[in-house]
Amino acid sequence: MPHLLTRWNWQRKLITEHDLTPNPSPCQGEGLGRGPNEMELQNLATKAKITWCPGCPNSQILVSFRKAVTELVNENKIKLENLVAFAGIGCHGKISDYLNVNSFTSLHGRLIPAMTGAKCANPQLSIVGFSGDGDSMDEGLEHLVHAAKRNSDINLFIHDNRVFALTTGQADALSPKGYKSKSTPFGSLEEPFNPLLLVLSAGATFVARTYAGDIEGTKKIMQAAIAHKGFSFVDIIQPCITFFDTRDYFKERVYWLDENLTKNDLGAAINKVQEKEEKVPLGIFYQVEKPTFEEELYK
C-alpha cells in the first residue's frame, strides 16, 4: 500500500492568520519584526507538534533554516514561493512538518532523485533537501554520488548524527569503528566514510561543514549554499543526544576556518577534510563555478 510507505506533502501551504500564531515550541525563536511588509520568523512555523527528543539539536537546525530563509526572502534574494524543502526518512525528515514552505517527504534515501527531478522540471526553484547520514550515505548513496557528479543545482543539508537515530541508534556508514549499538553489540568493525571527502571526489562544487549548536554559523552556511549555483553539500554535525551523545566531544573540537582562505583549491580542500579529529574544522572547504546539469539540459 503506497500510503503506508511514504507521506506525500506536496502542496503550497498558504500563510494564514492561523499560521502566524506563534509555535509554542522553543524552536520558534524571536520574530525579526522589521516592518509590516516583511516576513517574520513565525511565518515559517506550522501547528505541528515538535516530536524530537527535548534538546535534540535538530531543533537548532530548524531555527537556523527559518532564520536563513526569513533573511533571504526579506533581502529579495529568494522568493518563498520558489523554495521547496525536501526531506528523507529519519528523525531529520520531520523537519518538513515544521516548515511552512512547499515541501516533499520522500522514501528513505530517495530524496535526491525527487530534488533533481523538481529542479529539471522547473529550474527557477530553489531546492533544499534535509537528509540523514543513513538516508544519504547508506540507502541513498548512489544518488548522492551521481548528483555531485552531474552538478545538479540543489542543496543537500545532512543531519550528521552518525547513527540511524529514528530506528534507535543502530550503526550506519558514518558511525566510528568500535561504536556499540543494538546492531553492533561488540562494537562496529568498520571504519566510517568521510562524507566530505566522498562528495569532493565525486564532483560537488560547494562543500561545507557546520555544527548544529552554532545557529548563526549554520544559518550563514545555509545561505551561502543556497546562493551557490551547483551542487551544494553541507554536513551539519548534529549529535543524537539519546543514542550517541557527541556534544562534549564536538564542543571541544570544532573551530571555524579563516573565511579568507582560498576555496577553489581541490587538493587543499581534500587535505583539510582529512585532518585528524583532534580538531574539527567548520566552514566552506571548497567552492567553484561550473556549468550545472540544468544549464546543460536547457542549452
Ligand X SMILES: Cc1ncc(C[n+]2csc(CCOP(=O)(O)OP(=O)(O)O)c2C)c(N)n1
Query: Stretches 96-104, 108-116, 226-234, 236-244: which one binds ligand SF4 (CB under 6 A)?
Result: 236-244
The rounded distance, in Å, linking the Cα atoms of 217 and 70 is: 15
Candidates 130, 231, 243, 286: give the one binding ligand SF4 (CB under 6 A): 243
Q: Does 58 bind ligand SF4 (CB under 6 A)?
A: yes
Chosen residue from 41, 196, 241, 269 binding ligand SF4 by CB under 6 A: 241
Q: What residues between 16 and 55 interact with ligand SF4 by CB under 6 A? A: 52-53
Least distance in angstroms from the C-beta of 168 to ligand SF4: 8
Say which amino acid occupies 37: N
From residue 144 to residue 183, the character string flagging contacts with ligand X as x (rule: CB under 6 A) and all else as - is: ---------------x-x-xxxxx----x-----------
Instruction: Compute φ and ψ for 54, nearest 5 degrees.
Output: -55, 130
Tell me which of 66, 67, 108, 209 binds ligand X, using CB under 6 A. 108
Q: Is 92 in the site for ligand X (CB under 6 A)?
A: yes
On the 0-12 / 13-18 / 19+ scale of CB atoms within 10 A, 32 is middle
Q: Which of residues 157-176 bind ligand SF4 (CB under 6 A)?
A: 161, 165
95 in contact with ligand SF4 (CB under 6 A): no
Determine the Cα–Cα distance for residues 57 and 246; give it in Å rounded to an integer. Answer: 11
- Which of Mg ion, ligand SF4, ligand X, none is residue 56 near (CB under 5 to 8 Å by kind)? ligand SF4
Q: Choose, by CB under 6 A, the member of 133, 153, 214, 294 that binds ligand X.
A: 133
Question: Does residue number 288 form part of the binding site for ligand SF4 (CB under 6 A)?
Answer: no
Quick one: 6 or 242, whose CB is closer to ligand SF4? 242
Under rule CB under 6 A, how many of the chain's residues touch ligand X? 19
174 versus 254: smaller Cβ distance to ligand X:
174
**128-136, 145-153, 178-186, 273-281 -> range binding ligand X (CB under 6 A):** 128-136
Query: Where on the chain is the footprint of ligand SF4 (CB under 6 A)?
Result: 52-53, 56, 58, 91, 161, 165, 240-243
Query: Where on the chain is the footprint of ligand X (CB under 6 A)?
Result: 88-92, 108, 132-135, 139, 159, 161, 163-167, 172
